[in-house]
Amino acid sequence: DAGVIQSPRHEVTEMGQEVTLRCKPISGHNSLFWYRQTMMRGLELLIYFNNNVPIDDSGMPEDRFSAKMPNASFSTLKIQPSEPRDSAVYFCASSFQYSYGYTFGSGTRLTVV
Amino acid sequence: QKEVEQNSGPLSVPEGAIASLNCTYSDRGSQSFFWYRQYSGKSPELIMFIYSNGDKEDGRFTAQLNKASQYVSLLIRDSQPSDSATYLCAVRPITGGGNKLTFGTGTQLKVEL
């Protein structure tokens, strides 16, 4: 099992550019989560999907953020336009619904300059 | 009041001592509680979960839950330098339902030689 796979590992972009983060969950997991981690705010849930359907997007900061899960093996988180305050580590995690905790991917460190 | 609160630390303990990490939560109806360990620059990894009041032991780790006091703790016996990391408490709140976890901001543990 390769675990949760995220790409890219690092992304540096200029303010105003579009950024797309990608995630492949563990095969067979039917819940997928996008979190953002900063020193000040810790891990914040942005959005999560069950069976490819968005269940709770209340953590998405604003309309600049969007997430999709077109199938059970792929999800994207898009920021357009990006701003310096979006700089953070973005984690994707997956689990069986209602199971005992998540498995996290390695994260994408995003820097917006 | 934050949903999940932890002392940010750092908590310093000598090698071989017991490290005690604490967490309080605000949602009285919360059912499931998790401890994750996060090494610097890495993703969180699940080390323990607990559902019932009392203690749950797994090797050198013991999780303790007191739902009446809305308090969960993690004890690490015979602390080793390799235990130096940030420990994140996570709660599955009943409010809003679903499979999402709310994380505290973590406690940094330093085990000194």
Query: Which tens digits make up the pLDDT trace of B63-97?
Result: 999 999 999 999 999 999 999 999 999 998 765 55
Tokens in use for B75?
């004890």
| B1 — pLDDT class (breaks 50, 70, 90) | low
* pLDDT at residue A111, rounded to an integer: 98
| B98 — pLDDT class (breaks 50, 70, 90) | low
Using the Cβ of A25 and the Cβ atoms of chain B, whether some distance falls under 8 Å is answered with no
Using the Cβ of A34 and the Cβ atoms of chain B, whether some distance falls under 8 Å is answered with no
User: What does the alpha-carbon distance between residue B59 and residue B75 come to, in Å, rounded to a whole number?
Assistant: 11
Count CA within 13 A, CB hemisphere, residue A20.
Answer: 6
User: What does the alpha-carbon distance between residue A84 and residue A77 come to, in Å, rounded to a whole number?
Assistant: 17
First-last CA distance in chain A: 36
Does pLDDT of A1 surpass 70?
A: no
Using the Cβ of A55 and the Cβ atoms of chain B, whether some distance falls under 8 Å is answered with yes
How many Cβ atoms from other residues are within 10 Å of residue A103's Cβ? 19
Task: Characterise B28 by phi-psi region: left (phi > 0), alpha (psi -120 to 50), beta (else).
Answer: alpha
Residues of chain B found within 8 Å of residue A101, distances taken between Cβ atoms: 34, 36, 46, 49, 90, 101
Residues of chain B found within 8 Å of residue A100, distances taken between Cβ atoms: 32, 34, 46, 49
Does pLDDT of A79 surpass 70?
A: yes
* pLDDT at residue B96, rounded to an integer: 54
Check CB contact under 8 Å for A101 and B99: no
**More confident site: B16 or B27:** B16
Backbone angles phi, psi at B20, to 5 degrees: -120, 120
A window 79-98, beta carbon within 8 A of B? 91, 95, 97-98
Residues of chain B found within 8 Å of residue A35, distances taken between Cβ atoms: 103
Q: For residue range A21-55, list pLDDT tens digits in order.
A: 999 999 999 999 999 999 888 999 999 999 999 99
Q: Which of A56, A95, A104 sits opposite B44 (nearest CB)?
A: A104
The whole-angstrom distance between B60's CA and the closest CA on chain A is 20
